[in-house]
Amino acid sequence: MGNRFTDKLQRFHDLGDDGAAALVAATSRPRKFAPKRDLIREGDRPGPVFVMLDGWAVRYKILPNGLRQVLAYLMPGDCCDLHVGLLAEMDHSIQTITRADVATIDRIEMDVILDHHRGVAKAMYLAQLVDEGTMRAWITSMGRRSSIERVAHLMCELYIRARAIGLTTEMSFELPLSQLLLADSLGMTPVHLNRVLRELRRTGAMTLKRGSLLIEQPDLLVQIAGFDENYLHRRLRRAA
């Protein structure tokens, strides 16, 4: 009865039948986007809330010198900040990676839903807290993890997130990310990333090839990454 968006939120907090229905209705007219299409750009005035019903996207920034930094991945079910409409302008851009189905929820409608369905509001606040935790984990990776640890850590994160929404099969999953994109996510050059991937393959921990990741030794990968999934807050507060 739901879609990937409500399925994700439902795992955070009970939306209630009417809450879920309201969200489904609000996202019932998704638009299809080709790969590498900007949904919104830095400097634009924020519009509606974007909801990824299918496909992947990235948040990113371009520096004056043309370098790009990826800030976050949006996977099916993810959405952007619910209150983003309060801002005068975007401080980053959002672009599709793959073909994608993207719904938009008007700011007013979003407010109405949040006001009338406390379960939806709680679930969305939790989703936002997880996104923030993820940003903190990225800052930590960039600042204090070696390049091999950083790569391993991101792969662990993406695997856990993909698994949570049913995109994994055994120890592998579709990962539609080019090495260029990964390099821009991890603050390294594509050349160096390529060498790090080779090293991870050599250790037997994982193999990334065009479009999919195979995790051969999960324990080893987790150990290399120093991965602790607490920041994804999959353990929820009881009696919230």
Partner DNA sequence: CGGTGGTTTGACTACTTTCAACTTGGGTGG
Partner DNA sequence: CCACCCAAGTTGAAAGTAGTCAAACCACCG
Q: Which residues contact 64 (CB under 8 A, 6 or more apart)?
A: none
| Sole window of 142-150, 154-162, 166-174, 208-216 interacting with a copy of itself (rule: CB under 8 A) | 142-150
| Residue 184, contacted partner among DNA, a copy of itself, none, CB below 5-8 A by kind | a copy of itself
Give the amino acid at 151: V
Cα separation, 150 vs 141, in Å, equals 6
Report how far residue 16's alpha carbon sits from residue 28's, in angstroms, rounded to the nearest whole number. Answer: 18
Q: In whole angstroms, what is the distance from residue 118 CA to residue 128 CA?
A: 15
| Segment interacting with DNA, rule: CB under 7 A, options 46-54, 80-88, 160-168, 182-190 | 182-190
CA of residue 33 relative to chain centroid, distance:
17
**Residue 210 interacts with, from DNA, a copy of itself, none (CB under 5-8 Å by kind):** DNA
146 touches DNA by CB under 7 A? yes
Q: Indicate whether 192 belongs to the interface with DNA (CB under 7 A).
A: yes
- Of residues 4, 92, 117, 161, which one binds a copy of itself by CB under 8 A? 92
Mark 57-69 as b/e (b = at least 16 C-beta within 10 Å). bbbbeeeeeeeee
Candidates 5-13, 76-84, 112-120, 172-180 — which segment interacts with DNA by CB under 7 A?
172-180
Q: Quick one: which segment of 119-127, 163-171, 172-180, 192-200 binds a copy of itself (CB under 8 A)?
A: 119-127
Query: What are the CA-CA distances from residue 208 to residues 100, 158, 171 (Å)?
Result: 22, 13, 12
Q: Helix, strand, or coil here: 13?
A: coil
Q: How many residues bind DNA (CB under 7 A)?
A: 18
Kindly state whether residue 11 participates in binding DNA, applying the rule CB under 7 A.
no
CB of 179 to DNA, least distance (A): 3
- Does residue 195 touch DNA according to CB under 7 A? yes
Alpha-carbon span 240 to 236, nearest angstrom: 8
| Residue 233's binding partner out of a copy of itself, DNA, none, with CB under 5 to 8 Å set by partner kind | a copy of itself
Residue numbers at the binding site for DNA (CB under 7 A): 146-148, 178-180, 187-192, 194-195, 197-198, 209-210
